Structure 1
Amino acid sequence: MSDTAVSVDADGAVIASFALYLLLLVGIAVYAAGSRSGSMTDFFLGGRAMKHFVVAMSAVTSGRSGWLVLGVTGLAFVDGAAAVWSVVGYTTVELFLFLFAAPRLRRFTGRMKDITLPDFFASRLGGGPGLRVLIVTVIVLFMTAYVSSQFAAGGKAFAGTFGVADTTGVWITAGVVLVYTLLGGYVAVALSDAVQAIFMIVGLVVLPVVVVASLGWGPMFDTLRALDPALLDPYAIGFGGIIAAVGIGLGSPGQPHIVVRYMSIDDPRSLRPAALWGTVWNVLMGWGAVFIGLSGRAVYGDVDALPGADSEQLFPFLANAYLPGIVAGLLIAAVFAAIMSSADSQLLVATSGVVRDIYQRLVKKDAADLNPRHLVTVSRMVVMVMCLLAVGLLYVPGMEDLVFWLVLFAWAGLGAAFGPPLLLALFWRGTTAAGAAAGIITGAVVTVVWYYTLSDVLYELVPGAIASTAAVVAVSAVTRKPEGADRMMSLLKGGSGEREDVHG
């Protein structure tokens, strides 16, 4: 999933409204700094006290990134109504996660005091430090590259919108994300994501309504039909194309920055209303993105009419053309909201792996109980180091190619590597640590190999997820089950662990 630059002419009204958006983020950071950030659970999970609306909005926005605001709108511009299948895929899968997988994960991790995804696997399956190191390595590798790409996208967006240098835009993007993440930890990240979700939904609903109203519903469809009848046919991409598009949703269970949202909610029972909010938001934003693409195609006719002949430039270009400056500025903020809502989440997840799973669990495992404030201080230091590392990657000659390569596989690779092991660990008592490790490695390898050999036949995430599932089942079948597997499954189902301290 890629993010690209925007390109519009910014006037004073656009700049003023965008400045208000940045001030709002800083205000959230100041507020969150006085809230829950005194322990590891506070800093990385908001004390497991987050309300369902915040969790729903944060999960949705951190999962979409600029791919929805820029990518899906551009895809709908090119492919027409068929772009809706990608929205159907992730909306359906994330509804399943909210309703069935997330409650089990929240109950178990609350009972076991788990803070990270590696924590969960270690508690549920055992496996010693090897499994923990494998998971952290994969997460940090992909997440750092992901954050780096988000900063690069933010830099290009600032350059195209406000006429500053790319490098200046990168540092502004990184600086804003760093400030509110350092000050408030998970609370600041989750609250800012929820606020940014509002910017995204406003942008993705208001803009298509305005454009369609100006064109007229019937005339817009007549124009599209005259350009290409296939633009109005959701089945025009064929069965294989539909499977590939829907298959995008298979990546959601394997994204640590999405999964950790479920672990932070105040009560497992609150995940049902969270499912409602998250699904409504996914549907509204997804359909809004598709209709921006369709209406934009009716307006401009061909991609050559867009800046750089780039269909992913459609959203900001259309906003600037159809809306007053002050409103356009707020809608352009939706682009940055999408970028930042992913960058902050990915940065915090990578940091939690380093501090919780490597520093606390492995490096300091023989030390007496570490002071919670010391761990939070270390976490803030690591956040800063990870942020600088992500920016620094953009300055290393040749490293940009590696970052691009890692991001290319970030969604599919993480989805295939972690999704099947996580779901099987949640629902199948026979899952073992060796099976999970085999699934993680197999999913990642098959995704990469398939991309370079058969990606024109089927999106690599689909075979990667299938191969990962097969590897977990096959290896688990011939390896020793973890001790206490029945008790673990009872905790997952809400047996003896149902009445745990939900803020633990």
Structure 2
Amino acid sequence: MSITNPTLITFVIYIAAMVLIGLMAYRSTNNLSDYILGGRSLGSVVTALSAGASDMSGWLLMGLPGAIYMSGLSESWIAIGLVTGAYLNWLFVAGRLRVQTEHNGDALTLPDYFSSRFEDKSGLLRIISAIVILVFFTIYCASGIVAGARLFESTFGMSYETALWAGAAATIAYTFIGGFLAVSWTDTVQATLMIFALILTPIIVLLATGGVDTTFLAIEAKDPSNFDMLKGTSFIGIISLMGWGLGYFGQPHILARFMAADSVKSIAKARRISMTWMILCLAGTVAVGFFGIAYFSAHPEVAGPVNENPERVFIELAKLLFNPWIAGVLLSAILAAVMSTLSCQLLVCSSALTEDFYKSFLRKNASQIELVWVGRLMVLAVALIAIALASNPENRVLGLVSYAWAGFGAAFGPVVLISVLWKGMTRNGALAGILVGAITVIVWKHFALFGLYEIIPGFILASLAILLVSLAGKGPTKGMVERFDAAEADFKLNH
């Protein structure tokens, strides 16, 4: 097909640029802190855009537009929940976590932070939180690889198996080479590409369907209930969609961006940039799916691929409405969304294995160079397991993401949130919160109780477990309270 060559060339240029950034970051990576957290050197723009890009995976350009295309505006409750959750995370957690990790042994990972914050000499807190990261992130990585495979499959007509490896290879390459700096710098480029695609595409679709009035009339003619925010929903359904916002407090790949900021002063500016980026991207995503209803009802002859799989609505609109070179750039935005999330997930898994297992239990005196190379090998190991999980072509992107998102949101969200706000939290409280949150999500998902998204009961029960166990047992030590107070004073002074 005519699109293949220009799109292929655009993809190759884009991927080469990402790997080049990886090589540049390689030169700035001298120790494990550089590889895992970029030496805590991110400015506000990179912090903001890399937090946004690492959050918004292939789901942003595939899963959500597909859901809106199928069901209308009633699916947009999830976007409202996400914006609310992200804003509260920036407001309450970002700055405090930045100073708390520094005051608690200059922690590089979440398990590292929990271990220092609660003076856990047994290593139990570190092991359990690292296991939760590995279990749920491997599922999450698989969702990114599925999204990448779908993109290569539909764009280049590859078999699913070939597309699987093609989509994963580039991300693995630059994450392996450059670590956190490569991931953060590429995220910034990828976030820019994503917002460009999501502002331009709905405008062009609108023009192609005859302007706002004509488009809205066509959508109404197809099904008037497309405009109904409450169509096919229930109270539990809306709460479940809004509940996605709770997940932000516990996502290690997003929290790592806060920990890597150059100072707490950068956080407020980063919050404004990140929230503006996020609102524009989500509005564009909803518009692509919504206006796509009008376009494909007016052009049923080209609607086949979208009717077969609604998650392809953005891909098909880009291919149909744009010059092949511009389409290549727009489709690179999906690759950007996939790569930006997958890369930081691979890195967080690698850092959990390297810092929280290898260094803590196997080689306490390992050199920095050795640790960086172990980190690189762990990126490869996790990627291969995720590719194996993604090998089933029946996988749907949103289903995989929702399970992993709930797992982290419930297991880590309450622990992170309460640990930066309440000095009275104890080690046993943190342990109870992680276990109750993770187990609730797994059990609730299995039995699908009340049709309620598993993150909500998981988050509530984990929060209660933290409060009850912390209050019932022996309180925090003097050292824990002193470090908490010093970090909070530092936050208030520099915020």
Indicate how the Cα distance of structure 1 residues 456 and 329 shifts in structure 2: closer, same or farther if over 3 A, else same. Answer: farther
In structure 2, relative to structure 1, the CA distance for the partners of 1:490 and 1:232 (3 Å cut) is same
1:488 aligns with 2:457: no
Among residues 34, 54, 62, which one is paired with 2:27 in the alignment? 34
Q: Which whole-Å CA distance do the structure 2 matches of 1:145 and 1:9 have between them?
A: 36
Q: Per the alignment, do residues 100 and 407 of structure 1 end up closer, same or farther by CA in structure 2, a change over 3 Å counting?
A: closer
The 1:306/1:178 distance shift into structure 2, 3 A limit, reads closer
Aligned AA (1:357): D
64, 80, 96: which one aligns with 2:56? 64
Per the alignment, residue 289 of structure 1 pairs with 285
Match of 1:362 in 2: 361
C-alpha distance in 1 between matches for 2:336 and 2:75: 22
Q: Is the 8 A contact 1:105 1:492 kept in 2?
A: no
8 Å Cα contact 1:81-1:231 kept in structure 2: yes
Distance (Å, rounded) in 1 between the aligned partners of 2:169 and 2:423 = 45
For residue 136 of structure 1, report the CA deviation from its aligned partner: 0.4
Selected match of 1:229 from 224, 227, 234: 224
Which residue number in structure 1 is paired with residue 420 of structure 2? 426
- Which deviates the most, 294-303 or 410-419? 294-303
Counterpart residue identity of residue 101, structure 2:
T
Which of the numbers 177, 198, 201 marks the counterpart of 2:195?
A: 201
Tell me whether 238-247 or 70-79 shows the greater mean CA deviation: 238-247
TM-aligned CA deviation for residue 382 of structure 1: 2.0
1:214 aligns with 2:208: yes
Residue of structure 2 in register with 1:5 after alignment: none
The answer for the alignment partner of 1:502 in structure 2 is none
* SS in structure 1 of the partner of residue 351 of structure 2: helix
RMSD over aligned CA atoms reads 2.5
Aligned-partner residue type, residue 45 of structure 2: F
Selected match of 1:299 from 295, 313, 316: 295
Cα deviations by residue, 1:22-43 (Å, 9 ceiling, x for unpaired): 12112211221222x1111111
Once the two structures are TM-superposed, the CA of residue 238 in structure 1 deviates from its matched residue by 4.4
Task: Report the Cα distance in structure 1 between the residues aligned to 2:205 and 2:283, rounded to whole angstroms.
Answer: 14
> CA separation of 1:82/1:408 partners in 2, compared to 1, >3 Å: closer, same or farther?
closer
Does the C-alpha gap of structure 1 residues 404 and 86 become closer, same or farther in structure 2, counting only changes over 3 Å?
A: closer
Q: Distance in 1 between matches of 2:166 and 2:369?
A: 29
Give the structure 1 partner of residue 70 of structure 2.
78
Separation (CA, whole Å) in 2 of partners of 1:428 and 1:288: 38
- Tell whether the 8 Å contact from 2:100 to 2:420 is kept in structure 1 after alignment: no
Match of residue 250 from structure 1: 246
> What residue identity is the alignment partner of 2:46?
V
41-50 vs 146-155, greater mean Cα deviation: 146-155
Secondary structure of residue in 1 paired with 2:423: coil
In the alignment of these two chains, the number of paired residues is 486
Q: Distance in 2 between matches of 1:232 and 1:277?
A: 30
Provide the rounded CA distance (Å) in 1 between the counterparts of 2:482 and 2:490: 9
**1:163 and 2:157 are equivalent in the alignment:** yes
| Corresponding residue for residue 384 of structure 1 | 380
**CA shift at 1:283, angstroms?**
0.3
2:451 match = 457
Counterparts of residues 94-243 of structure 1 (less than 5 Å):
94-111=86-103, 112-127=105-120, 128-215=122-209, 216-236=211-231, 237-243=233-239
Cα distance in 1 for residues equivalent to 2:76 and 2:389: 35
Structure 1 residue 185, shift from structure 2 partner: 0.7
Conserved? CA contact 1:58–1:190, under 8 Å: yes
Measure how far apart 1:311 and its partner are.
1.3
How far residue 147 of structure 1 moved from its aligned partner, in angstroms, is: 1.8
Name which of structure 1's ranges 88-97 and 384-393 shifts more when overlaid on structure 2: 384-393
TM-score with structure 2 setting the length? 0.92
Deviations 1:216-270 (Å, cap 9, x if unpaired)? 1011111222222221132433433322211111111111111111000101110
Q: In structure 2, which of residues 434, 439, 451 is the aligned counterpart of residue 440 of structure 1? A: 434
Between the aligned partners of 1:468 and 1:399, the Cα distance in structure 2 is: 34
Shift of 1:123: 1.2
Normalising by structure 1, report the TM-score. Answer: 0.90
Distance 1:291 1:173 in 2: 26
* Cα-to-partner distance string for 1:380-415 (whole Å, 9 max, x where unaligned): 2222222233334456xx9999x9997552111111
Where does structure 1 lack aligned partners over 5 or more consecutive residues? 1-7, 500-504
- The CA deviation at 1:350 is 0.4
Cα distance between partner residues in 1 of 2:441 and 2:51: 24
Amino acid at match of 2:217: D
Q: 1:356 to 1:319 in 2, by over 3 A?
A: same
- Label 1:18 to 1:231 Cα distance change in 2 as closer, same or farther (>3 A): same
Distance 1:440 1:361 in 2: 20
Partners of 2:58 and 2:148 within 8 A in 1: no
Query: Displacement, 1:155?
Result: 2.5
Partner SS state of residue 376, structure 1: helix
Residues 192-217 of structure 1 deviation map (CA, whole Å, 9 limit, x = unaligned): 11111112111111100111122210
Counterpart code for 2:106: K
CA displacement, residues 464-491 of structure 1 (integer Å, 9 cap, x when unaligned): 1111111111111112223123213213
Question: Identity, % of aligned pairs?
Answer: 35
Contact 1:304 1:310 in 2 (8 A): no
Give structure 2 stretches of 5+ with no counterpart. none
- Once the two structures are superposed, residues 104-123 of structure 1 have per-residue CA deviations (whole angstroms, 9 ceiling, x without a partner) of 11012123311000111111
Q: Which residue of 1 aligns with 2:13?
A: 20
Residue deviations 1:412-436 (CA, integer Å, cap 9, x gap): 1111111011101111112111111
